[in-house]
Structure 1
């Protein structure tokens, strides 16, 4: 899927939701500019493309696929590695967009909820919320990627935190890796868990060992 096709997917989604064309165009440019900012290396339009493709290939139908797609588009729209409120601010940006549409309040709140749940994937999740489970698992699938892809991801994240000194980044990254490894359930859905859990834990352990040796 090329960036042009990404825009086409955005247009198709918003056409189904009855969003005016001018608002669609303006918002796509805003999102594209955010995701392709100079400080982005992993959290880019490529990440959005991956999640949208994953949804398209998902074997089980979602209850509200359009809400999930909106959450995909906005979930990393605000990304400042030096702040801890990116998810809230991304959700606010989504709210500002949806307030200009005819999307019902219940669906708007679902988009906000999905985005805000990405703040900490290790927290217990509502047991029956299968759309949330899919969204979180798709967002976290990079952890179980092939070894070369995982290391590329790890280096890209380090680039995004380039303003953080190595000694501080190493400490923080190790805490993140250890927390993920201690999480009994990394993936909420059986399919993701079966395909990715073992590989994800191996990747996380390998990166943790690398930081214990000094760095990537």
Structure 2
């Protein structure tokens, strides 16, 4: 599903078909690593499905798409700078294409915003970070599958360490005045997201 989207996106900025194929292969390889149970191609597909619904509201669709493909390019559970490293990777790739520096900065900033998912001045960034968090407002069965897959990604950590860190993350989102910054995502997911987060906190606190 995603490959044609990526190739079409690239075709406006390069005519080198071999290069386009190599960039896609690299993304597919990164997101298919055996330690990725949630942060994989399925996550990107889910993000795309939600973003396409608000495409008409987004100012620079292409930079949002590039952010989608590269925002989890680097994913190492032992590191704290995954978003920054992923943003740097996107910047490096976009600099090889015919893209203005200002737009590259937009993509970079969008990826960096996934670090804390705070409200931004840019509407595009708010739509992107909302879509990235959409899993939080899914039905409980889907949410349960999500948090179990995240736990698998942190399987090297013992429960007492993981639970403490995970509860802190869950509270970060639950205690926000609003998890979702845009009306579209807020109306669709906010209530269920708060319920899901509380339910996972309760389970981890048992």
TM-score bin (small chain): over 0.9
Superposed displacement of residue 58, structure 1: 1.9
SS at match of 1:40: coil
Superposed displacement of residue 112, structure 1: 0.4
Aligned to 2:172: 179
Q: Which runs of 5+ in 2 are unaligned?
A: none
Distance in 2 (CA, whole Å) between partners of 1:20 and 1:54 is: 30
Which of 189, 195, 216 does residue 188 from structure 2 map onto? 195
Q: Which runs of 5+ in 1 are unaligned?
A: none
Aligned to 1:14: 10
Which of 113, 134, 141 does residue 117 from structure 1 map onto? 113
Report the more deviating stretch, 109-118 or 57-66. 57-66
Aligned to 1:103: 99
Matched, 1:55 2:51: yes
Aligned to 2:129: 136
Q: 1:19, 1:101 within 8 Å by CA — same for their partners in 2? A: no
* TM-score normalised to structure 1 length: 0.92
Matched, 1:92 2:88: yes
Superposed displacement of residue 22, structure 1: 2.0
Aligned to 1:168: 161
User: Can you list the C-alpha shifts for 1:155-190, whole angstroms capped at 9, x where unaligned?
Assistant: 000000111111100100011111211110100101
Distance in 2 (CA, whole Å) between partners of 1:142 and 1:166 is: 23
* TM-score normalised to structure 2 length: 0.96
**1:56–1:20 CA distance, 2 compared to 1 (3 A):** same
Matched, 1:67 2:63: yes
- Report how many residues are paired: 206
Aligned to 1:204: 197
Distance in 1 (CA, whole Å) between partners of 2:150 and 2:124 is: 26
Distance in 2 (CA, whole Å) between partners of 1:27 and 1:187 is: 32
